[in-house]
Amino acid sequence: MRSHLFRMLCLAGGVGALFAACGGGDEEETRSVLAVAFRLDEGTPVMAAYSGDADEDPLWLAAGRYYIEAIDEADMAVSLGTVDVEAGEAVDFPASFADASGVADPGRAGSLVTMANFLVDVELSKYTSLEIVSGGFQQPLFDPDVEVSPADLETLFTLYSDIADQEDAVLTAFHNIQTRAESQPRKSIAPSTSW
């Protein structure tokens, strides 16, 4: 859980900080990717943000049909289009976004970062609320002996306010991504497709 939280905190720092602190850099060659996936089929609605080294820590999603867009450490954006994810298979990102019709489009990258940051903030607010009602994860959830302080509530309300303040930017980013998704030809890319 700490690794997941660390990755979310790295994501909240933006693309540059993401790739510097979360696995990108000069130590080894990595395929640092930031991606957003939207579930398209009748399954449970899902919007998921991913960041990491696509080779070392792949993107795993529940089986289903998704629309996925991603950017790499060079800010090259690529749409994987409609992807049918099979049970037990990770999403396969192209080895080179530039060779896979990637584009250096700051607006497109901005939309992905905005959506990813929003999704991270929502997850952090859930984590914070669970931490508060469990006395710092020391007691069972909603134990009557857990004392919730005004400072705890202020922290939570500040997180909720920060999330609400993102509404216009998130709706614009979502509209931009939705417009690109609708302009994609209907295709299905198997996760194991070699680029």
pLDDT in tens, 113-125: 999 999 989 998 9
Please give the mean pLDDT across all residues of the chain: 79
How many domains does the chain contain in total? 2
> For the segment 48-107, what is each residue's pLDDT rounded down to a tens digit?
999 999 889 999 999 999 999 999 988 899 999 899 999 999 999 998 898 888 889 898
pLDDT the model gives residue 99: 87
Please list the residues that pair with 36 across neighbouring strands.
49, 69
Q: At which of 80, 104, 128 does a domain end? A: 104
What's phi and psi for 55, nearest 5 deg? Answer: -85, -45
Is the distance from CB of 38 to CB of 67 less than 8 angstroms? yes
Among 58, 56, 62, 55, CA closest to 90: 58
Give start and end residues of each alpha helix (H) in the chain.
Answer: 2-12, 15-21, 106-133, 150-165, 167-183
Confidence of residue 195 (pLDDT cuts 50, 70, 90): very low
pLDDT score of 20 more than 60: no
- The answer as to whether 191 is a domain residue is no
User: Is 0.85 surpassed by the pTM of this model?
Assistant: no
Q: Are residues 70 and 154 in the same domain?
A: no
The rounded distance, in Å, linking the Cα atoms of 183 and 180 is 5
Lowest mean pLDDT among 60-69, 128-137, 177-186: 177-186
What's phi and psi for 122, nearest 5 deg? Answer: -60, -45
Range of the domain at 117: 107-183
The rounded distance, in Å, linking the Cα atoms of 166 and 175 is 14
> For the segment 136-153, what is each residue's pLDDT rounded down to a tens digit?
888 888 888 888 889 998
- The answer as to whether 188 is a domain residue is no
